[in-house]
């Protein structure tokens, strides 16, 4: 019952509006990186950011302490124009799940840059993340649903077309299957401007 209550709290947080953990997606639960290790991730991007095409993104994250990690992202997105994606974020852990409050909570501050031939998009994304891990009986694997709340502050510059700055409320919902201690498989989707997408990928601690 307590787990259901905690998930209800998390859902109510997201209903107020949400943002990605970094400019291109959340990718991971709000918990500290598994085992305090560093992590590599590879992701397939589908949706509005890439139009009718697909995008690929890689991420490397470093754990500076049990309460702080940071990441760098690099990839590309297809669409009308192929864009190079460059990003980074810092993530202090606000709360690690315990028996009194079994939700992991984190704050994330992300910066993203999308560069194409005729436009540039800069995004600043502050967000609150939440997740809860469910161990699967009879195995060493687990399922972790995650969500995040925040804003996407973006500046869009078009060559010979002017500039525009906007602030968007977006939402992300994801699930990571920890198949082994060294392999996580994730899927997430987003709603809202700049976040109408679907992401599939893997997370590998190292």
Confidence of residue 196 (pLDDT cuts 50, 70, 90): confident
Tokens encoding 135: 């161990």
pLDDT of residue 48: 77
Confidence of residue 9 (pLDDT cuts 50, 70, 90): very low
pLDDT tens digit string along 95-117?
Answer: 999 999 999 999 999 999 999 99
Which own/partner contact pairs does 51-54 have at CB distance under 8 Å and 24+ positions apart?
51/78, 51/79, 51/80, 52/78, 52/79, 53/77, 53/78, 53/79, 54/78
Tokens encoding 101: 């409050």
**What CATH number is attached to the domain comprising 93?**
2.40.160.20
pLDDT of residue 11: 40
Confidence of residue 192 (pLDDT cuts 50, 70, 90): confident
Cα–Cα distance, 91 to 107 (Å, whole number): 6
pLDDT tens digit string along 160-186?
Answer: 878 999 998 888 999 999 999 899 999
pTM of the model: 0.85
Confidence of residue 21 (pLDDT cuts 50, 70, 90): low
Parent domain of 107: 2-205
Q: How many domains does the chain have?
A: 1
Residue 90 has pLDDT above 60, yes or no: yes
What is the average pLDDT across 6-16? Answer: 40
């Amino acid at each position: 019952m307590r787990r259901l209550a905690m998930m209800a709290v998390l859902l109510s947080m997201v209903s107020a509006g949400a943002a990605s953990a970094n400019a291109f997606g959340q990718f991971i639960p709000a918990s500290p990186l598994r085992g305090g290790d560093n992590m590599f991730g590879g992701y397939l991007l589908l949706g509005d950011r890439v139009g009718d095409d697909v995008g690929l993104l890689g991420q490397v994250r470093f754990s500076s302490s049990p309460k702080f990690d940071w990441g760098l992202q690099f990839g590309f997105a297809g669409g009308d124009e192929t864009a190079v994606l460059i990003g980074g974020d810092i993530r202090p852990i606000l709360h690690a799940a315990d028996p009194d409050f079994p939700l992991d909570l984190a704050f994330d501050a992300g910066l993203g840059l999308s560069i194409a031939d005729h436009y540039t998009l800069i995004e600043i994304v502050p967000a609150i993340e939440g997740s809860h891990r469910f161990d699967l009986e009879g195995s060493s694997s687990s399922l972790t649903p995650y969500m995040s709340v925040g804003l996407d502050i973006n500046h869009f510059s078009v060559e010979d077309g002017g500039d525009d700055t906007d602030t968007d409320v977006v939402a992300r919902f994801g699930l990571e299957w920890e198949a082994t201690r060294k392999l996580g498989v994730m899927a997430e989707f987003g709603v809202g401007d700049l976040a109408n997408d679907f992401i599939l990928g893997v997370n590998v601690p190292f």
